[in-house]
């Protein structure tokens, strides 16, 4: 490589949509009970109906919207939203603030990020090389069968990382994380092959929870105070505990990971969230 910047004609047109992938926001809110107590029943009823409409996951945009009830006192409810356009995502927040209940809705935490295909996800060629390192003979029936199976999975894996469907499983957990940059424990000073080896080990631990837990890693680098955001969905809350505990023994996590706050919540409709938060006002 010459080190020269690309010629202007090679650059994409200026845009806020990503070249690949979607924007993602995790938004956390609490209700101000003092403000709610000062509102008339009519205002509460109208506000409730507005919130249900704003948080309808079947609306045309954003592309993905999921509501959940937050356990504990960090927030009352949360939203996970993804769309090609970050302002479409932010418009949901603005609509909540501008609604009849807006003065009673306080933001407690947010994390913005983008989706991507990790550099540690092997290409077909790299996967073939891994098979050889693990003892398969290149060109053998077993080698070809595994390579062909990976070739069929790879497009689906890319789609689920870049433009994912949200599982309908009941329990979800979000937390931000960094890789360490400390003397003797600097992830970014390690050669790629070593980082790749550690992440492959980490991935194998996660695969043990296939069918129990679904994971999405989004990137906060350049957008947030933390480098990555981890979203987990589980068939049962117990699996959240099991996967986080089990994967912390992997060297990539035990030695090099730093974690932020954990937010555990339970998937629901907007109406169910409002009922749970004691805003069960009807018109």
pLDDT digits (tens, 9 = 90+) for 150-168: 888 888 888 989 999 999 8
- Is residue 65 a contact partner of residue 79, using CB atoms and an 8 Å limit? yes
pLDDT greater than 90 at residue 281: no
Nearest-angstrom CA–CA distance, 15 and 28: 28
Q: What is the DSSP string of 119-141?
A: TTSPPHHHHHHHHHHTTPPTTSH
* CATH number for the segment(s) 23-115+268-276: 3.30.70.1030
Q: What per-residue confidence (pLDDT) applies to 6?
A: 58
Q: Which pLDDT belongs to residue 48? A: 96
Helix 141-162 × helix 124-133 angle, to 10°: 130
The model carries a pTM of 0.89
Q: What is the pLDDT of residue 1?
A: 44
Question: Could you give phi then psi for residue 259, rounded to 5 degrees?
Answer: -115, 145
Confidence class of residue 9 from pLDDT cuts 50, 70 and 90?
A: low
First to last CA, the chain: 66
Q: What is the pLDDT of residues 165-202, one digit of tens each?
A: 999 899 999 999 999 999 889 999 999 989 988 998 88
The predicted-structure confidence for 40-52, as pLDDT tens digits, reads as follows: 999 999 999 999 9
């Amino acid at each position: 490589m010459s080190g020269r910047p690309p010629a202007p004609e090679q650059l994409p047109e200026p845009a806020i949509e990503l070249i690949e992938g979607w924007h993602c926001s995790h938004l956390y809110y609490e209700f101000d009970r003092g403000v709610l107590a000062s509102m008339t029943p009519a205002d509460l009823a109208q506000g409730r109906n507005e919130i249900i409409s704003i948080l309808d996951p079947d609306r045309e945009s954003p592309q993905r919207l999921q509501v959940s009830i937050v356990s504990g006192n960090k927030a009352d409810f949360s939203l996970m939203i993804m769309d090609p356009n970050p302002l479409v995502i932010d418009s949901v927040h603005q609509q909540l603030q501008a609604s009849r209940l807006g003065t009673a809705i306080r933001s407690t935490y947010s994390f913005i990020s983008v989706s991507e295909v990790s550099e540690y996800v092997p290409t077909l060629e790299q996967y073939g090389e891994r098979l050889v390192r693990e003892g398969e003979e290149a060109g053998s029936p077993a080698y070809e069968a595994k390579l062909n199976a990976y070739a069929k999975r790879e497009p689906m894996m890319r789609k689920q990382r870049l433009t994912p469907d949200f599982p309908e499983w009941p329990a979800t957990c979000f937390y931000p994380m960094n890789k360490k940059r400390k003397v003797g424990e600097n992830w970014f000073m390690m050669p790629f092959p070593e980082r790749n080896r550690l992440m492959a080990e980490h991935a194998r631990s996660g695969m043990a929870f296939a069918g129990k837990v679904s994971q999405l890693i989004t990137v906060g680098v350049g957008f947030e105070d933390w480098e990555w955001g981890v979203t987990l969905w589980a068939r049962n809350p117990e699996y959240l505990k099991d996967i986080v505990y089990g994967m912390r023994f992997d060297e990539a996590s035990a030695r090099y990971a730093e974690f932020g706050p954990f937010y555990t919540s339970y998937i629901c409709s907007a109406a169910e969230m409002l009922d749970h938060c004691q805003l069960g006002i009807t018109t």
